[in-house]
RNA sequence: UCCGCAGUAGCUCAAUGGCAGAGCAUUCGGCUGUUAACCGAAGGGUUGUAGGUUCGAGUCCUACCUGCGGAGCCA
């Protein structure tokens, strides 16, 4: 007897197989039953005739609660009436555990209820589809970087100090001797490994203790950060463009069924191909001013500020591809950004704004190379010099132009899936008011 | 942290200041091709918490709690 996964059933038409799974839903009609089984790879409809099985099998399946653990043995048969095109004529079945009163019924539920039952919600079709797309995106990210010559060189999660000194950090007691902080970026360590390996990336959890409460924020999220030695802002933009395009292509290729479940407009993903529009900050501001004059933007944007969420949405809304905004004012960017040699008030940084209001998915740029400049920046930002001594070493010993970016995986998943909220893009989201389950 | 909205059965929601309701889920019964199956019946309530106004509060007022949406900050 071969044990088969549901997504492989089409290869076993006419054969007798065993499927092991959980009861998804049942329809019963007296002497005929249609239990639907899911096994993690898909859902299949089973057909049970009362006369075709032993009485105890019929009784066991009858009135069985949703999500009970069941194995069935039967013959695979193509049938137009079956969702998915194939069904199983059941000859025998075994109930491993009878589940009663499964809380998530095949009806509508509110967000709070579903989030409280996240450990069970993951079993539902839509969540299942999202997390499979996430899996493919993570896979595509690793494949792309590995094939492009980047070396995975992960950076620490427990760190002694703020990397950028701006956002709030989660504090951890380190053996009662000192405070440690959960990493909010692998950026600075990446610069060290890039000087060791040339092209590197880190990919792991990132923590931000910001009291943000929007559909784009998690307190714990996954970020991939490539960093290249001997590279410039243009190299970062070229990489971002190829990177996002390859991810979109992989999702389209490998997850058409899941995109259908999510009712994603795939033409939006097909549009993600190089080249992406590149917008100097000055031009972006001009677009915002035009928007204001047309009455499409409430307030007139002041040159020099960072873009707020409505600004990003307005700018990206004018393109059907991701937009790369570069040369931001240095004042709104991190201290380690390289300055524009022609206009010192600008930083060689770039934000990639995703279309459809998904906001900033990538942020990056060229890093400062000068020891003196960084020493001055540390002073201006009132950062503890001792903590950054090792970082300054990177400018003492073979300092070269180098650049990189960070991409938030969950924002990418939300974008690719066309989701309203980032909370569904990670199995167990951590948010301002959500630490459990 | 600020602004706005909400909280009624296990779930999703209704109820003009005047008897606490429906659908789904659950339990029982019926049905040999169902597609969120259908038909019939039953059980199920301290209306988020604490005060207040009123003859009378799910409904109006105040505070708090919880959640949702947005802003700021950011990926």
Residue A161: what pLDDT? 65
The structural domains of chain A, with segments of one domain joined by +, span 2-97, 119-425
Measure CA to C1' and name the residue nearest B30.
A30
- pLDDT > 70? residue A250: yes
Distance in angstroms: CA A166, C1' B69:
27
**Under a CB-based contact definition with an 8 Å cutoff, are residues A389 and A160 in contact?**
no
CA-to-C1' span, A109 to B15 (A): 21
Nucleotide whose C1' lies closest to the alpha carbon of residue A65: B26
pLDDT, one tens digit per residue, over A141-199 is 999 999 999 999 999 999 886 555 545 788 888 888 888 888 888 999 999 999 999 99
Q: What is the mean pLDDT of chain A?
A: 90
Torsion sign across C-alpha atoms A295, A298, A303, A306: negative
Give chain B positions with protein CB within 7 A: 1-2, 10-13, 23-28, 30-38, 66-75
pLDDT of residue A166: 47
Is pLDDT larger for residue A334 or for residue A237? A237
Q: How far is the CA of A125 from the C1' of B74 (A)?
A: 31
pLDDT band at A302 (very low <50, low <70, confident <90, very high): confident
Is A119-425 in the same CATH topology as A2-97?
no
- Does the pLDDT at position A326 exceed 90? yes
* Bridge partners, residue A363, by sequence: A351, A406
> Which residue do the tokens 């917008």 mark?
A279
Give A113 CA → B51 C1' in Å: 29
Average pLDDT of the residues in A389-415: 95
Nearest nucleotide from residue A184 CA, by C1' atom: B75
Continuous segment of H or E residues that includes residue A74: strand A69-78
Report which listed range, A31-40, A105-114, A222-231, is most confident: A222-231
Quick one: A2-97 is in which CATH superfamily?
Answer: Nucleic acid-binding proteins (2.40.50.140)
CA of A237 to C1' of B42 (A): 67
A152 class by beta-carbon count within 10 Å (0-12 exposed, 13-18 middle, 19+ buried) = middle
Q: Is the minimum distance from the CB of A167 to strand B below 7 Å?
A: yes
Topology adopted by domain A119-425: BirA Bifunctional Protein; domain 2 (3.30.930)
* Per-residue confidence band for A237, with pLDDT thresholds at 50, 70 and 90: very high
Sign of the C-alpha dihedral computed for residues A226, A230, A236 and A241 taken in this order: negative
């Amino acid at each position: 007897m071969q044990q088969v996964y549901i997504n492989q059933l089409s290869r076993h038409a006419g054969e007798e197989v065993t499927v092991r799974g959980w009861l998804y839903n049942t329809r019963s009609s007296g002497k005929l039953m249609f239990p639907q089984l899911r096994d993690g790879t898909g859902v299949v409809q089973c057909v049970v005739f009362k006369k075709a099985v032993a009485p105890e099998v019929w009784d066991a399946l009858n009135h069985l609660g949703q999500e009970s653990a069941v194995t069935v043995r039967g013959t695979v048969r193509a049938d137009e009436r079956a969702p998915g095109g194939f069904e199983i004529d059941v000859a025998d079945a075994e109930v491993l555990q009878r589940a009663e009163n499964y809380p998530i019924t095949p009806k509508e539920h509110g967000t709070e209820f579903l989030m409280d039952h996240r450990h069970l919600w993951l079993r539902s079709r839509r969540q299942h589809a999202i997390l499979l797309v996430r899996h493919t995106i993570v896979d595509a990210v690793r494949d792309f970087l590995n094939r492009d010559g980047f070396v995975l060189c992960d950076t620490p999660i427990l760190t002694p100090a703020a990397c950028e000194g701006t956002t709030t950090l989660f504090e951890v007691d380190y053996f009662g001797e000192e405070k440690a902080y959960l990493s909010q970026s692998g950026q600075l360590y990446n610069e060290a490994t890039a000087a060791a390996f040339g092209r590197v990336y880190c990919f792991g959890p990132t923590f931000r203790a910001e009291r943000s409460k929007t559909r784009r924020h998690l307190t714990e999220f996954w970020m991939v950060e490539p960093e290249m030695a001997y590279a410039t802002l243009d190299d970062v933009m070229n990489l971002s463009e190829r990177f996002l395009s390859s991810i979109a292509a992989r999702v389209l290729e490998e997850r058409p069924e899941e995109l259908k479940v999510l009712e994603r407009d795939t033409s939006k993903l097909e549009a993600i191909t190089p080249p992406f529009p590149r917008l100097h900050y000055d031009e972006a501001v001009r677009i915002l001013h035009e928007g204001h004059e047309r009455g499409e933007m409430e307030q007139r944007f002041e040159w020099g500020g960072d873009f707020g969420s409505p600004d990003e949405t307005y700018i990206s809304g004018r393109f059907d591809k991701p937009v790369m905004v570069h040369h931001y004012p240095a004042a709104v960017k991190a201290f380690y950004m390289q300055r524009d040699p022609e206009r010192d008030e600008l930083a060689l940084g770039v934000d990639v704004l995703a279309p459809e209001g998904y906001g900033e998915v990538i942020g990056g740029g060229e890093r400062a190379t000068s020891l003196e400049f960084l020493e001055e920046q540390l002073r201006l930002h009132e950062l503890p010099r001792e903590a950054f001594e090792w970082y300054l070493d990177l400018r003492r010993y073979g300092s070269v132009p180098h650049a990189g970016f960070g991409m938030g995986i969950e924002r990418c998943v939300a974008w690719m899936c066309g989701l309203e909220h980032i909370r569904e893009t990670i199995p167990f989201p951590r948010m301002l008011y959500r630490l459990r389950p």
